[in-house]
């Protein structure tokens, strides 16, 4: 194995709380990797898994329902000829448009299953709003 000696002054840093030297290697940042700055819009993620059981279509939704609402709306509309259940067990965040969509779904006969409590409460407030 070939080794090389690195001068201590250029690669040594002390760790204030421990007091022992901390060695650094010659690693450099990779070029060409995407950089997401804090000002960039957040990356939204939504996953819809379709399953069929005894004639009922279940759309299990995971992630955030916000800007991806058209995708969810399209998925529900594609299955309107069958009994549809929206399973929201893995939904983390929703916005007001998503809550209003879920209320519309219930009115049209789509069942909402395993809905987070805060979403269910928000839906109830939207239903009772003038």
Say how far apart CA 71 and CA 76 lie, in whole Å: 9
Query: DSSP label at 66?
Result: S
Query: For the whole prediction, is pTM greater than 0.85?
Result: no
- Tell me how far the alpha carbon of residue 57 is from its chain's centroid: 23
Contact 86, 57 (CB under 8 A): no
Mean pLDDT, the chain, rounded, equals 82
How confident is the model over 67-87, as pLDDT tens digits?
A: 899 999 999 999 988 899 999
Q: Domains along the chain?
A: 46-128 (3.30.750.24)
Mean of the pLDDT values across residues 18-37?
A: 59
The residue among 118 and 7 whose pLDDT is bigger is 118
Q: What percent of the chain is modeled with pLDDT above 70?
A: 66
Say how far apart CA 36 and CA 25 lie, in whole Å: 26
Q: Is the pLDDT of residue 57 over 90?
A: yes
SS3 call for 15: coil
Least confident of 4-18, 23-37, 77-91, 109-123: 4-18
């Amino acid at each position: 194995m070939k080794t090389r000696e690195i001068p201590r002054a250029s690669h040594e840093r002390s760790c204030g709380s421990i007091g022992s030297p901390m060695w650094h290697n010659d690693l450099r940042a990779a070029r060409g990797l995407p950089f997401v700055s804090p000002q960039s819009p957040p990356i939204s993620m939504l996953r819809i898994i379709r399953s069929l059981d005894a004639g009922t279509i279940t759309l299990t939704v995971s992630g955030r329902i916000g800007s991806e609402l058209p995708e969810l709306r399209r998925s529900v509309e594609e299955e309107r000829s069958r009994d549809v259940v929206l399973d929201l067990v893995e939904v983390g965040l929703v916005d007001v448009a998503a809550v209003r969509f879920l209320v519309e779904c219930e009115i049209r006969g789509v069942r909402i299953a395993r809905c987070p409590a805060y979403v269910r409460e928000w839906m109830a407030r939207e239903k009772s709003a003038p």
